[in-house]
Structure 1
Amino acid sequence: MIQEMAHIEIVPGKYAEFEAAVTQVVPLFNRAPGCAEVKLHRIMEQPNRYVLIVRWNSLEDHTVRFRQSDDFQEWRRLVGPYFQKPPEVVHTEIAVE
């Protein structure tokens, strides 16, 4: 299991619209092969910054299967207009529990 963490900066004042768009696209993630969970976190100290956290069974489930899908294109179409800059995406795995 790996975790995708997408750090997203939103155009100021568009928070409600962005969150509504993400609500619309959560089902795209949920039906993606290898997706185990998706959550959107708002950074309290910086209200225009979010972290999208998605748990995938493998790195390829995200970087190949999802990113090459029509659902990824729909995700970007719906939420992309709210990005102030391109998201910074990293993948993590548990090192210590």
Structure 2
Amino acid sequence: MITELATLYVKPNRQKQFETDFEIAGQYISSIDGYISHSLQKCVEQDDKYILLVSWRSLDDHTIGFRKSEVYLKWKELLHHYYDPFPVVEHFETIIENKK
């Protein structure tokens, strides 16, 4: 499994609309083969800062399956105008995981 992490900075006074549109955009990303789950988390200390965590079966499921799909164009149209600066997206694999 691969975790995609994107730090998102949303333009001032656009947070509520961004959150509404992000809820809609969830249908697009979740329709892709290899998608497992996603969460959007808002920073407590900084009102314009969010992180997006997406679990994918493989890196290619994100970088090829999603990013080269028609639904990515819908995702992009709905969300990309909110960001300033444009997010850096990184991918991680679990090395150690502990759960209670």
TM-score of the alignment, normalized to the shorter chain, above 0.5? yes
Match of 1:61 in 2: 61
Unaligned segments of structure 1, at least 5 residues? none
State the alpha-carbon separation in 2 of the partners of residues 85 and 33 from structure 1.
29
- Identity of paired residues, percent? 32
- The count of aligned residue pairs is 97
State the alpha-carbon separation in 1 of the partners of residues 59 and 76 from structure 2.
19
The correspondence of residues 42-53 of structure 1 with structure 2, limited to 5 A, is 42-53=42-53
Cα displacement string for residues 20-76 of structure 1 (whole angstroms, at most 9, x for unaligned residues): 110011011111110000110101111101111100000000011100011111111
Secondary structure of the 1:19 match is helix
State the alpha-carbon separation in 2 of the partners of residues 73 and 12 from structure 1.
24
- Quick check: which has more Rg, 1 or 2? 2
TM-score, normalisation: structure 2:
0.93
Query: Which letter does structure 1 place at the counterpart of 2:45?
Result: E
TM-score, normalisation: structure 1:
0.96
